[in-house]
Structures are given as C-alpha cells and as structure tokens.
Amino acid sequence: MAIEEIAIDNFRNLTHVRLCPSPHINLVVGKNGSGKTSFLEAIYHLGTARSFRTAQSNLLISMGAKKFTLYSRIKKAGVAVGVGISREKKQIKIKIGNHPISNSSKLAEILPVQLINPDVHKMMEDGSRYRRRFIEWGVFHVKPNYLTMWRQCTHILKQRNAALRHNVSLNELALWDDALCDISQHVNEARLDYIQRLYPYIDKLFSKISELHPITIALDQGWPEGSKLLDVLRDNRASDKKKGFTHYGPHRADLKIFFGNVKAKDIISRGQQKLVTALLKVAQTQQLLDSGSGSDPILLVDDLPAELDRVMMCILFEEITSLPIQSFITTTDLTSFPIVGFKDAHHRVFHVEHGSIE
C-alpha cells in the first residue's frame, strides 16, 4: 500500500501542495519552521483525523483561511481509493471514495500510519498512556474485533464510574463489576496474545545490537498479577467511591520495557531511549506486515537525527529502509543521513521552503 498522490490546501503553512511521492522512501528536507513536520502531520491526519502536535484542530487551518482540505489517492492491493478530509473550525467532513463517513476509525483501516518523531522517547520516560497507545495501535490492526471490544469496555467503565459517583446500591454496582470483568478478560487476552506475537520481532531486532540486548517487554494488565479483577474491584470499592473512578482495570494497563532485569529508562541514555523506542515501532511495523492482515502501514519519521549519534542513526535507518513500505523522513540537512542505506532503494527527495514543497 502507498500514497500515489497527495494534495494539501491551507493546512498550517502549507497553502497549496501537490505531490506524487515514491512508493518506498521519501526524504523531506528543509530548515526548521519551513513546513516539514506540517507535511507529516497532514499525512497523519489523513490516517487518523487528528494531529500528533495539538488537540486544537482550529490551529491546523492556515491563518486567514476558513478551512483546510486534504486529499490522497492510495493504492492498496492494486486498487486506487481516494481519501479526503476537510475541516472548518467546528466541523469535519471525511470521505473514502465518494462516500461520506462518520467514523474516523475507518481511516486507520485504509491508511495506517506509524509515527516516529522527537517525542518517541516519551513512550519509555513518561506516563503509561504513551505505552498503551503503542499496544492499542498494534492490537487494533491485527485483531479485527478489538475496537468493538475496547469501545464496549470503555462504555462499561463510564457507567461504573457514574455509579460510583452517584452512590448506587451494592447490587447495582456488582452488575457493572461483573460486566467489566467479562469484557476485560477478552481485552486482556487480545493484548497478551499480541505482545507474545510481537516479542520475537523485538528479540531478533535487538540481538543485532549487543549494547542494547536483551531489551524485553511485558504487559502489566492493569491490576495485581495473580489476582482476579472481580476480587480487586470489590476490595477497592471504598476508595473507588471516594475518588469517583475505577482504579484498576484494562484502562490502567502498561507496557514494561526492561534492559536485562532492570527498567530500561533507569539505566540507558536519552539517545539510547530514543533508539530503543524507535526500533520498537519498527519491530511493530514488521510484525504487522507479516500478520497477514493486509494493513501495510506508512511510516512517518520526523527529525530523529537531532539526538542520535552516527552509529545509532545508521542502525535505525538500515532497519527502516529494509521495510517494504512507504516512508516519509524529514531532516534539516541531507548530509546528516547515512545515504549509503538509500543507494539501492527507490527514493525521492523533496525540498521544503516557506510552505512550498518541490
């Protein structure tokens, strides 16, 4: 799968862009503030209907414009399909082919995007939501019914939290406890199965890098290991009622990343953290390609060389260029790239200046 054509109008500082990218590697070169990241953000928006930089969608519209429009022609399994998004300040319209859709998750099925940017190390350093997002991205694309299960789980969680705040009877609360435990079992099994299938790819990848081996991962299910969720919910009803929300469950799941037997973030450098988390996403991408799901992701890589030394950069880009997928990689300086990795690859170079891309 690849983007054959992309059109961008009034998105950030990109007022009028038309490109036909390479189906493999696309290098996007320009000074800071020229529009490189905005270009990747537009592609990301086409696959998610959201930004990876801001939750305020009105900030994505070019100054002085009333709306932005994005369009891409995507070739998947030999068939071309158009994906378009237009957004005004309070309204979004999405079309796949000529059909309007209201569910943005359909975009992810048509155009799965994997992002590696300068914030990638937050998956290791910061809150568990970054690591849950990593898990959710992978499970969503390899297990067709996962999204339905997760939506059902979040609905039940909201209902249980409302019941806690309104001090309902123990019998009514017990009904929500049972429902939450039932769906949580299915969600947890899907996540565990995914992590088990992903791990061989991680082990194979990091076995090539002696100073970062063994990197291992494990799923923290969101409640104490060895305990039944129903027992945990009952034991914590008093504290849940006091706070007005559910403390334990699949919504509190986490991904543990170890170097040997120690949490990786505690002993490896910032540059190594960035390399590890970027390579975890590469492993995830490779696993998805081999899963037989038919979802070939597009890889977006934004300004990573800024904090990677030459050796780390070569390792990362060797793995990226070996993936049989379309990628878009930005940099301020083309000479900073390990160009040797691209010598046998079909690639194009685009230059960005003042919101114009050629």
Helix (H, G, I), strand (E, B) or coil at 65: coil
* pLDDT tens per residue, range 89-114: 889 999 999 899 988 888 998 899 99
Q: Exposed, middle or buried, 67 (CB in 10 Å: 0-12/13-18/19+)?
A: middle
Which of 42-46, 57-61, 297-301 shows the lowest mean pLDDT across its residues?
A: 57-61
Distance CA 140, CA 134 (A): 10
Letter string b/e over residues 190-204, b meaning 16 or more CB atoms within 10 A of that residue's CB: bbeebbeebeebbee
pLDDT for 289: 93
pLDDT range class, residue 196, cuts 50, 70, 90: very high
265, 277, 267, 285: which is closest to 312 by C-alpha? 277
Name the average pLDDT for the chain.
91
Is 341 a residue whose pLDDT tops 60?
Answer: no
pLDDT for 28: 94
For residue 92, report the phi and psi dihedrals to the nearest 5 degrees: -125, 140
Which of 17-26, 270-279, 300-309 shows the lowest mean pLDDT across its residues?
A: 300-309
Which of 16-25, 202-211, 301-310, 311-320 shows the lowest mean pLDDT across its residues?
A: 301-310
Which of 193-197, 292-296, 348-352 shows the lowest mean pLDDT across its residues?
A: 292-296
pLDDT range class, residue 145, cuts 50, 70, 90: very high
- What is the arrangement of strands in the sheet containing 215-220, beginning at the earlier edge strand? 215-220, 254-259, 262-263
pLDDT for 355: 87
Give the mean pLDDT of 265-289.
Answer: 93
Helix (H, G, I), strand (E, B) or coil at 62: coil
Give the mean pLDDT of 310-315.
Answer: 84
Angle at 135 between CA 331 and CA 108, to 5 degrees: 65
Is 322 a residue whose pLDDT tops 70?
Answer: yes
The residue written with tokens 């190594």 in the block is: 272
Cα-Cα-Cα-Cα dihedral sign, residues 150, 156, 160, 166 = positive
In the chain, the largest separation of any two C-alpha atoms, in whole Å, equals: 69
- DSSP run (H or E) holding 277: helix 270-290
Q: Is-contact 197 232, C-beta < 8 A?
A: no
pLDDT range class, residue 342, cuts 50, 70, 90: low
Helix (H, G, I), strand (E, B) or coil at 165: helix
For residue 12, report the phi and psi dihedrals to the nearest 5 degrees: 55, -125
The encoded tokens of residue 267 equal: 């002993």
* pLDDT tens per residue, range 8-40: 999 999 999 999 999 999 999 999 889 999 999
The residue ranking higher by pLDDT, 158 or 314, is 158
Give the mean pLDDT of 218-228.
Answer: 96
Q: Which residues pair with 25 in a beta bridge?
A: 327, 347
207, 202, 186: which is closest to 277 by C-alpha? 202
Would the pTM count as exceeding 0.85? yes
Pairing state between β 68-76 and 79-87: antiparallel
Q: Is-contact 21 61, C-beta < 8 A?
A: no
Give the mean pLDDT of 184-203.
Answer: 96
Give the mean pLDDT of 173-194.
Answer: 96
Residues constituting the chain: 358
Distance CA 114, CA 104 (A): 16
The residue ranking higher by pLDDT, 162 or 294, is 162
Give the mean pLDDT of 69-95.
Answer: 91
